[in-house]
Amino acid sequence: MKKQPLILEQHIHGAFGIDFNNCSVEEVLFVADKLYERRIGAFFPTLVTDSIENIKRQIKVIKSAAEKNSRILGVHLEGVFINPEKKGIHNPEHFLALTVENYKLIEDDFIKIVTLAPELDEGLVEYLHSKNVKVQAGHCTGWGDVDGVTHTFNAMASVSHRGVSTTLSTLVNDDVYAEIIADGVHVSDEALKLFLKSKPVDKVILVSDSLPITASDISEMVFADSKIYYDGKKATSSDGTIAGSTMLLDEIVERLKVLGLFKPEYIENAWHYHGLNIQYK
């Protein structure tokens, strides 16, 4: 039987009832094993905006788990350095200015991806690049010297026929990788088709942005300091703000196949983005 490429997930906040912002080493390892059963062969646990103390603690937890399982590739830090105008579910009480000094409060060599608002940059982007950290535009209104874009269309300035915006820049810059949550909830299928027509096939990165509530029997939980409610289709806060996805990446891949929109490159791209050899099973 021909081996198939494993999926690399670079944006996942948790699953199976486990929250990467509040979990143990054993729980991270549990998620890693459960994901592998679903052909998700490697992943970047993603930390949502939190206090400096909690972020530092959870980086250590994830790093310790990675010492026991090489499929845990590093931390994706989403939040803290984002724009309050596009905060989404994030708690602005924890936001920090985009300075090198502030980043050093939580800096760790296991942080491999940072989502930030480039229009607010005060020298952090250049520093992150010097440390070989992937810089992604997300929860923002502007554009800058970025490697990628976090969950395109969501929590960013939308397409306009006048001026520039984060989404417009994402679609027209062929050299920039771009995440997309193709779960049918975060992005309509028409918008998804626009995205797939606009981006070069080798720059599309599928992500789930999955919540801890995913693949569990939990219908309510606290995430990013907000109460989240799951109605069987989507998870939102009490004011209706959509949180992350409730679909894992293998399910998203299968959904794209049903829609006739899937291409093998969509599995390969994330591996290439991080300079890794594709893993097979």
Tokens of 270: 């994330």
Tens of pLDDT, residue by residue over 172-201, are: 999 999 999 999 999 999 999 999 999 999
The pLDDT value given to residue 67: 98
Amino acid 248: pLDDT: 98
Multiple choice CATH, 7-273, 3.30.1490.390, 3.20.20.140, 3.40.462.20, 3.20.80.10: 3.20.20.140
What was the pLDDT predicted at 158?
95
**Residue spans of the chain under pLDDT 70:** 1
Q: Helices (DSSP H) in 111-177: which residue ranges?
A: 124-130, 166-172
Characterize 89-113 residue by residue with b for buried, 16 or more Cβ atoms within 10 angstroms of its Cβ, and e for exposed. Answer: bbeeebbbebbeebbeebeeebbbb
SS3 180: strand
Distances (CA, A) of 157 to 43, 142, 219, 235, 252: 28, 7, 30, 22, 25
Encoded amino acid at 77, one letter: L
Determine the pLDDT at residue 163. Answer: 85
pTM for the model? 0.97
Using CA atoms, how far apart are residues 268 and 159, in angstroms rounded to an integer? 28
Q: Check if the beta carbon of residue 73 is closer than 8 Å to that of residue 29.
A: no
* Residue among 249, 227, 196, 225 nearest 15 (CA): 249
Q: How far apart are CA 36 and CA 149, in angstroms?
A: 25
Termini Cα distance of the chain: 10
- Paired tokens of 242: 């959509």
CB of 186 closer than 8 Å to CB of 203: no
Domain parsing of the chain, residue ranges: 7-273
Interatomic CA distance for residues 103 and 135, integer angstroms: 13
pLDDT digits 0-9 by tens, 227-265: 999 999 899 999 999 999 999 999 999 999 999 999 999
Catalogue the E-assigned strands of 67-195. 75-78, 111-116, 134-137, 148-149, 177-180
Listed in sequence order, the residues at least 6 apart from 1 whose beta carbon sits closer than 8 Å to its beta carbon are none
Closest CA to 120 of 134, 137, 101: 137
Contacts of range 105-109, beta carbons closer than 8 Å, 24 or more positions apart: 105/52, 106/52, 106/55, 106/56, 106/59, 106/77, 106/80, 108/56, 108/59, 108/60, 108/63, 108/75
Q: Is the Cβ–Cβ distance between 26 and 62 less than 8 Å?
A: no
